[in-house]
Amino acid sequence: MAGLKVHIIDFIIIIGSLIVPFFISLKLSGKQNNLSKYFTAGGKLPSWAIGISILATLISSVTFLAYPGEGFSSNWILLVQGLMVPVTLILIIGFVVPLYRKAIKISAYEYFEKRFGFFARLYSSLGFFLAHFSKMGTVFFLIALAFSKMAGFNTSEMIWIIGIIVIFITLLGGIEAVVWLDVFQGFLLVGGGIASLLIIIASTNGGIGTIWDIAVENGKTGFGPYDISFTKLTFLVMVLNGIFYAIQKYGTDQTIIQRYLAAKSDKAAVKASLMGVLLSVPVWALFMFIGTALFAYYHVNPAELPEGIRPDAVFPQFIMTKLPVGVVGLVLAALLAAAISSLDSDLNCLSAICVEDYYIRFKPSSTEKQRMFFSRLIVILAGFASIFIALYYTKIGGEGVLGIIFTLYSIFSGGIAGMFLLGIFTKRANKQGLYVGIAASVLFTAYAVLTSTKFEIGEKSVLLLDFGNFNFTHHKMMLGVYSHVVLFVVAYFASFLFKNKQGTDALTYYGWKKKMAV
């Protein structure tokens, strides 16, 4: 830890924010004696705590740094995705939450098995596992790298420190410790963001009026371009991507659905979900506007910004050079909180998936004690594996493996939101048709990724697969739309080729509606 760039007061604040998780986990460790308590807190948590936990889970340290970078270099177009979440959620959450709370025990993907068979559960849970496992290693690396550059911490040492804390929290305290820690970290995160923005405004001659005028004059406000085009990043692309992001996150993601189960009632779970997303949108907007304000500040004071600095490094630059002692520690602690609140949730949910979707299936006669042992073993193994992935990134600069992991995930887990829509809103769809839809979605996504991704050979950039005029040329964010649409459409019509399975109406919107009418 030699060569620290932070004041001793800031260092104490950061250390204090790392000590709190230990006390929360130790206090709650004695309650974690069965799977229900370990993964859903026995369904006893208050809705307001779950709502803030959802907020903290959605706002990662990547958001903490990336949104100000986007606000500095562009406009607010990336906010469109977040703005579509509450619109979509209001339409589906009222029946999705009670349906899940009645249809599953712990794993979100149990629903897909009941609706379409075991392969659907395997496909969806494996997609979740690959996405979040690879994400954990990435977050470990990025947060450690940020602290290395901003505060002088050693990157590898930070990876180990954060990793051990996350493993400890999840291992001892279960989802209850995760949620209550998220509450603490959520307030820290928002407080750090608000403090930063207020100081940027106070430091800019003319305050908020000057910031707004400069932002408008330089095209830093608005959500455009508004072209009807799918080949570049447009408002329409982000609207469509945001709709499917919301469906996938709130309809199929274990980190969110597990929180539905932790609430005391259906009504409390719906309230928590709405609270989480309605809080997330202004927080996303807060960090985006921090970037806009930074652009205005450095527009007025250009000499203070190092030449050639990357947009995502501007906010860290301001933190370390302009924030007063104490506030620096608060903001860095908030950055750590954003990482930890995302990582501990991922780790708990990965353990839940491994136990519910695999261990219990292959060892149905196992005792509760054996299942608890296995769940904690997964926490340890997955936690250390993510640490080692992050350490590997330090050797290669984060290049190479990271791209491969996300490319493979995008190919083999595409269409899960389409699967959810198929299961919820159609009665005719069956498992045979779904399998055809999954195959079509995987093939389409593979085609789109391979014909639009380049790699370097010497001084040339070459496509992984080149079909000439038939290459995929739309913006890659549209993959977050097309893969789901392809699965839904192909699976629905393919289902007519096979005998329909009866008895699944209760797992659809129509079955829920009929039950509510009684």
Residue 513: count of CB within 10 angstroms of its CB: 10
Query: Is residue 43 predicted with pLDDT exceeding 60?
Result: yes
The phi, psi pair for 45, rounded to 5°, reads: -80, 145
- Range name among 53-57, 248-252, 400-404 with the lowest pLDDT average: 400-404
243, 84 contact by CB (below 8 A): yes
**pLDDT tens digits for range 295-337:** 999 999 998 998 888 888 899 899 989 999 999 999 888 888 8
263: left (phi over 0), alpha (psi -120 to 50) or beta: beta
Query: Is residue 409 predicted with pLDDT exceeding 70?
Result: no
Q: What is the pTM of this model?
A: 0.88
pLDDT recorded at residue 429: 92
d(CA 60, CA 56): 7
What average pLDDT does the chain have? 87
Considering only residues 487 and 62, tell me which one the structure prediction assigns the higher pLDDT.
487
Domain 8-301+314-397 has CATH 1.10.3720.10: no
In angstroms and rounded to an integer, the radius of gyration of the C-alpha atoms of the chain is 23
Partnered with residue 300 across adjacent β-strands are none
Q: Which residues contact 260 (CB under 8 A, 6 or more apart)?
A: 97, 100, 101, 269, 272, 273
Query: Is residue 449 predicted with pLDDT exceeding 70?
Result: yes
The number of CA neighbours under 13 Å toward the Cβ of 479 is: 26
Q: What percent of the chain stands above pLDDT 90? A: 46
291, 69 contact by CB (below 8 A): yes
d(CA 147, CA 145): 5
- Range name among 70-84, 102-116, 319-333, 384-398 with the lowest pLDDT average: 384-398
- What DSSP string runs through 169-195? HHHHHHHHHHHHHHHHHHHHHHHHHHH
367: left (phi over 0), alpha (psi -120 to 50) or beta: beta
pLDDT recorded at residue 399: 47
**pLDDT tens digits for range 410-440:** 555 678 999 999 999 998 899 999 999 999 9
Q: Domain limits of the chain? A: 8-301+314-397, 414-518
Residue with token string 């699976």: 491
**pLDDT tens digits for range 142-185:** 888 888 878 788 889 889 988 998 898 888 888 888 899 888 88
Structure tokens that stand for 304 in this block = 């203070």
From residue 439, how far is each of 61, 325, 433, 447, 451 by CA, in Å?
35, 56, 10, 12, 18
Q: What residue spans of 41-154 are helical by DSSP H?
A: 47-58, 61-73, 79-103, 110-116, 118-151
Spacing of C-alpha 99 from chain mean position: 23
179, 50 contact by CB (below 8 A): yes
Spacing of C-alpha 370 from chain mean position: 30
Please report which confidence band the pLDDT of residue 402 belongs to, taking 50, 70 and 90 as the band edges.
very low
Cis status, amide bond into 225, omega within 30 of 0: yes
pLDDT recorded at residue 401: 45
From residue 477, how far is each of 133, 187, 271, 480, 489 by CA, in Å?
21, 31, 30, 6, 19
DSSP collapsed to 3 states, 414-480: CCHHHHHHHHHHCCCCCHHHHHHHHHHHHHHHHHHHHCCCEEEECCEEEECCCCHHHCCCCCHHHHH
